[in-house]
Amino acid sequence: MDLITSVREDIVAYFADTQELCFNERDLQMHLALWLRGSTHNYDDVDVEYYVPYQLLGQDYIWRNELRLDLMVRKADAYLPIELKYKTKRIRKCISRFGQIIPESIDIMKSQGAQDIGMYSFWKDVRRLELLHRHFERVVGGVALFVTNDRSYLNQTRESSNNCKLSMAQGIRSREKSWRNSESYCAKNYPAFSVDRDYDLQWHSINVEDVELYYNITTIR
């Protein structure tokens, strides 16, 4: 079994097993890292916040800022970077801490909004993983994982929407990632780019603590 396949299996197993909501993206990052470190696939290393100088990715890396990859899994001399996005809308619940129920409900997931920027960030992750695969011979590919309790990410964007080319609706998504209105704030602050191929997004759902979560695992090879 190759590294991409085994890691994908482990991520699916993590979601099938999880019974506790993660509060935010860092929470998910840590839980998933621990899960992968305990995997029966016996990875040689699972690192977090793996630093890569952006200059190593050449001129195609248009953002010109440093990379700190959410997770890096190594097996022998094969490396697999994983990028995570965890986009949430508000959930209030009562929780237990130190074995004691806190009587007042609190925000355990915050409303992040800005779904158009969330979509852009996901496709930016895909593009960064493509470039890592291209520039490092021992990088066997990548995994872009997107998790949300905001179902609007699954909806097809209208053709008239500024972010219509950034759609994350299920199915084949085209390569160009740009804004319909080139004079908009988004277009001026989040530059257009293209990915190397048409990706087939497949969404899955799970229920955790009575909250519906949706996730897709996009693999780069």
Residue 201 pLDDT:
97
pLDDT in tens, 149-191: 999 999 998 888 999 999 999 999 999 999 999 999 999 999 9
Mean pLDDT confidence for 77-81: 98
Distance (Å, whole) CA 63 – CA 33: 27
The predicted pLDDT at position 54 comes to 94
Q: How far apart are CA 9 and CA 35, in angstroms?
A: 12
CA 77 – CA 70 distance, rounded (Å): 19
CA atoms of 140 and 81, how far apart (whole Å): 9
Radius of gyration of the chain (CA): 18
Domain coverage including residue 197: 3-220
What's the pLDDT score for residue 96?
82
What number is the average pLDDT over the span 1-12? 97
Work out how many domains the chain is built from and give that number.
1
Under 8 Å between Cβ of 105 and 44: no
